[in-house]
Amino acid sequence: MNLKVCGDIDDQIRRARAMYNNIIAVMRGIYDEMQTFTMEHAGPEGQALHEKIVAANVAFDAAKADNDEPRMKQIAMERRELWKALSIILKEVRKEHKNTLKERFYSRIGNNSSTETYQCRAEAIVGGLGYATATKVLDNALKAWQMSMVKGKAPRFARGEEKDQDTLTLQFSQAGGVPVEDIFTGKRKDIGIEYPKKGFGPRSYSAFRFRLGAASEESYAEGTVQLHRAIPENARIAMAHLTRKKAGRKYQYELQLLATLAEPINLLPDHRRKPLVAIHFGWSGDEEGRRLAGIADNADPLEARLLTLPPDIEDDIREASALQAKRDTYRDEVFLRLKEENTLPTKGETPLSEHWNKIRKLPAQHVSANRMHHLAWLVKSELIEIPEWFETWRKADQRMWVQATSLARRARNRRKKYYEKVAIDLASRYEAILIEMPDLKKSAEKVNEKTGEKTEFAKKARSGRVIAALYVLESAIQWAACKHGSAVLKIKGEKTASVCAFCEGDHLEEKEEHDSQTLYCPDCGSTVDRKLNGAANAWKRAASDLESLVTEYWEETREKQMGKAETKRLKSEKMAEARRLKRQAASQASAGA
C-alpha cells in the first residue's frame, strides 16, 4: 500500500497504546487491592508464608543469574513447599469471601458502562481516539486480563518498542455490515475505495480513504491500495482495519476488509477423500532439511513420508539469530565500557541521570539494546558530547537490527506459506487428521521452576524447536481442516515412536550412537525412522475406532458452537435488561424531580 504521510495515524496509534496501558494500570491497581484484601484475611500464618515466598523469589533469581544450579534446586524445593501451604489458606479465603471479591474487585473490570475499564475507553474517545479502535483495545485488554488471571498474575504493560504491529479499526453498525458496493461507489463517508480501472489483480491499484478518529474531526488517511483480488458479489463489510507493520526502519500498511458472504464458499473437494492420516510431530535436525513430522495414511511405516523444512528457510532463521547474538555481544561490551569509564552523570534529576541510574546497576544481559539507544538519545538531547565509540556502536547496531529483523521476517513468512500449503494438501485429501504433538511448553524450559533442575533438552534442541515452530504448522492444519470440513483428532501420552510398527515389540533401540532418529528392533530385525514409526502406530490406534472418534469430535464441535451462541444470547439479554433498568431509574428520577 502507498499511503499519504499523515501525522494523525501516528497520533491515533499513540492514543490507542496509551489507552491500553491506562486500562492495564487500572487492572493492576485492582489486582493489587484484591491481593492485599486476600492477604489481610489470610491471617498471621498466611502472611508469614507470603513473606518467605517473596524472599525465596529474590534468592532464586540471584542464584539463576550466577548459574548456581544446586542453590536453585534447594530454593525451588523450599518455595514449592511454601506455596503448597499458602495455597490451601488462600483457597479458603477466596471461597469464604467469594461474593465480596466479586462485588469489590471483579465487578470493576469489564465492558459495561459502569466498569472502570470501560470508563478508560470513554475517556480515550473523548480525547480523540476512534470509537471502534477504542472498543478493540478494550477487548484486547480484557483478553490479557483473563489469560493473566489463569496464571495468577496481573497483566503486563505493553511496550511500544516490542510492538511490530498496530491496528486502527472502523466498525459498521448495520446488521451484517454494509454492502460492499457502498464502499466502492463513494456512499460511505468513513471509508471509500475507487473501483480499479484495469480490474482486480496483483498490479491493480486504486485510491482509498480511511477515517481517523471521530467523524466531526474529518481526518483521513489517504493513498493507494493494491487490490490483489476481487471481493465476492453481494458481500457485506462488517469491519475495516488499517494495519501498520514495522519493516526495518520503515512501516508497511495494509487495508483489511472483513467480509460476510451471501453464500459460503465450498472448499470441499470433488474427489473422494481417504478416511484418515496421522501426523507424528518432532523437530530433529537433518542436512536435507529439519524433520518436522512423519505422515502416514496406513499401518505400514515404509509407506509413510517425512515432512521436512526447506533448508534455505532454516539457514535464514539461523543467520538472523547469529546477527542478533552479535548485537547482544556488542551491546554488553559497550554497556560495560560505559560503566567502567563512568562519564555519564549520576547526580541530579535530569532524564539522563535517572535513566542511567536505573540501568547501570543491572547485569549487562538484562539491558536491552532499545534502552541503550534511548540512553544515546538522552545524551544528545541534553547536549552532552557522546563518545565516538558509543556513536559508532549505535549506528552499527541499527544497521544490524534492520538486517536481522528483515531476514527473520522474510524467513518466517516463507515458513508460514509452506505450512499453509502442506495443511491445505492434507485437508483436501483426508476426512480426518490425527495429530500427535510433543509437549512444546515443557521442551522450552531451561530450568524446571518447581525442582530447580536443568531440563533434559539441551540448548541445541530448544533452538530447533523455535526454528520448526510446530504450533504454526498445527494452527495451519486446524485452519485448513475447518475450511475443508475435516475432523482434527489429537493423541497424547501414547507410546507410538518407541513401539515397533511391524511386530509391536517395545524393545526399540537407536541403531547408531549419534543417530537418535533411526531405530532398530531386536525382536524382528527391522530398521525404521522414529517419526515414520510413530505416525504408523498412531494411525493404527485411531483407525481401530475411527468412526466413534470422528463422531465424538463433531458432537463436541457442535456443543461448543451451541454453547457460544447461548452465551452470546444470555449476554445480550442481560445487557438489554440492564439498559431497561437504567432507563426506568432515570425516568423515575425525572418524575420525582
For residue range 56-112, list pLDDT tens digits in order: 989 988 888 777 888 888 998 899 899 889 989 988 998 999 999 999 999 999 988
Same domain, 36 and 63: yes
pTM of the shown model:
0.70
CA neighbor of 193 nearest in space, from 233, 223, 213? 223
Selected residue with higher pLDDT from 203 and 18: 18
Same domain, 219 and 194: yes
Q: What is the pLDDT confidence band of residue 554, given thresholds at 50, 70 and 90? A: very high
Same domain, 71 and 181: no
CA neighbor of 535 nearest in space, from 275, 273, 284, 282? 282
Q: What is the pLDDT confidence band of residue 252, given thresholds at 50, 70 and 90? A: confident
Same domain, 218 and 119: no
**In b/e form, how buried is each residue of 150-159, taking b as 16+ CB within 10 angstroms?**
eeeebbeebe
Report the DSSP pairing between strands 515-520 and 509-512: antiparallel
Cell numbers 533401540 correspond to 509
Q: 115-119 — which CB contacts under 8 Å span 24+ positions?
A: 116/26, 116/30, 117/23, 117/26, 117/27, 117/141, 117/142
Distances (CA, A) of 16 to 141, 154, 243, 359, 462: 11, 20, 13, 28, 36
Q: Which of 10-14, 171-175, 287-291, 443-447 is predicted with the least confidence, judged by mean pLDDT?
A: 443-447
Residue 591 domain-assigned (yes or no): no
Q: What is the pLDDT confidence band of residue 4, given thresholds at 50, 70 and 90? A: low
What DSSP string runs through 171-227?
A: E--STT-EEHHHHHTT--SSEEEPPPTT-SSTT-EEEEEEEES-GGG-EEEEEEEE-
Residue 35 has pLDDT above 80, yes or no: yes
Q: What is the mean pLDDT of residues 144-149?
A: 92
Residue 188 has pLDDT above 80, yes or no: yes
Same domain, 251 and 306: no
Residue 115 domain-assigned (yes or no): yes
Distances (CA, A) of 270 to 18, 232, 477, 481, 485: 51, 22, 20, 16, 13
- CA distance from start to end of the chain: 58
Q: In what order do the strands lie in the sheet with 191-193?
A: 2-3, 219-226, 205-212, 191-193
Selected residue with higher pLDDT from 322 and 164: 322
**H-helix segments, 361-469:** 369-381, 388-429, 440-443, 459-468
What DSSP string runs through 113-180?
A: TTSHHHHHHHHHHHTT--HHHHHHHHHHHHHHHHHHHHTTSPPPPP-GGG--EEEEEEE--STT-EEH
Q: How far apart are CA 79 and CA 60, in angstroms?
A: 9
Same domain, 15 and 149: yes
Residue 211 domain-assigned (yes or no): yes
Domain boundary among 140, 161, 182: 161
Assess contact for 170 and 209: CB atoms under 8 A: no
Q: How far apart are CA 578 and CA 405, in angstroms?
A: 49
Reduced to 3 states, what is the DSSP secondary structure of residue 563? helix
Q: Which three cell numbers stand for residue 97?
A: 469471601
Q: What is the pLDDT confidence band of residue 488, given thresholds at 50, 70 and 90? A: very high
Return the pLDDT at 267: 53
Same domain, 149 and 170: no
Q: What is the mean pLDDT of residues 166-195?
A: 87
Return the pLDDT at 380: 86
Selected residue with higher pLDDT from 3 and 132: 132
Residue 591 has pLDDT above 90, yes or no: no
Same domain, 128 and 17: yes
Q: Across the chain, what does the average pLDDT equal?
A: 86
Percent of all residues in the chain with a pLDDT value above 70, rounded to a whole number: 92
Residue 52 domain-assigned (yes or no): yes
Q: How far apart are CA 41 and CA 331, in angstroms?
A: 47
Cell numbers 514449592 correspond to 80
Phi/psi for 115 (5° steps) reads -85, 155
Q: Describe the crossing of helices 131-150 and 7-40 by its angle, rounded to 10 degrees.
A: 30
Phi/psi for 377 (5° steps) reads -65, -40
Same domain, 492 and 508: yes
Q: What is the pLDDT confidence band of residue 504, given thresholds at 50, 70 and 90? A: confident
Same domain, 137 and 167: no
Residue 397 has pLDDT above 80, yes or no: yes
Residue 151 domain-assigned (yes or no): yes
Percent of all residues in the chain with a pLDDT value above 90, rounded to a whole number: 40
Residue 382 domain-assigned (yes or no): no
Domain boundary among 528, 544, 560: 544
Same domain, 149 and 196: no
In sequence order, which residues have a C-beta less than 8 Å from that of residue 511 and are 6 or more positions away?
Answer: 518, 519, 520, 527
Q: What is the pLDDT confidence band of residue 29, given thresholds at 50, 70 and 90? A: very high
**In b/e form, how buried is each residue of 568-578, taking b as 16+ CB within 10 angstroms?**
eeeeeeeeeee
Distances (CA, A) of 571 to 10, 213, 564, 585: 35, 29, 10, 21
Q: Which of 9-23, 51-65, 175-189, 203-217 has the highest mean pLDDT?
A: 9-23
Assess contact for 528 and 519: CB atoms under 8 A: yes
Same domain, 235 and 96: no
Selected residue with higher pLDDT from 518 and 450: 518
CA–centroid distance for 342 within its chain = 40
What DSSP string runs through 336-383?
A: HHHHHHT-S--SSSSHHHHHHHHHTTS-GGGS-HHHHHHHHHHHHHTT
Residue 537 has pLDDT above 70, yes or no: yes
CA neighbor of 50 nearest in space, from 35, 30, 32, 29? 35
Phi/psi for 441 (5° steps) reads -65, -45
Q: What is the pLDDT confidence band of residue 568, given thresholds at 50, 70 and 90? A: confident
Structural domains in the chain (count): 3
Q: Which of 313-322, 326-335, 502-511 is predicted with the least confidence, judged by mean pLDDT?
A: 502-511
Q: What is the mean pLDDT of residues 338-344?
A: 86
Q: Which three cell numbers stand for residue 252?
A: 508497511
Residue 340 domain-assigned (yes or no): no
**Residue range 418-446, pLDDT digits in tens:** 999 999 999 999 999 999 988 766 655 55
Q: What is the mean pLDDT of residues 435-460?
A: 57
Return the pLDDT at 459: 53
Which residues span the domain enclosing 186?
Answer: 162-260
Return the pLDDT at 277: 95
Domain boundary among 161, 192, 212: 161
Residue 564 domain-assigned (yes or no): no
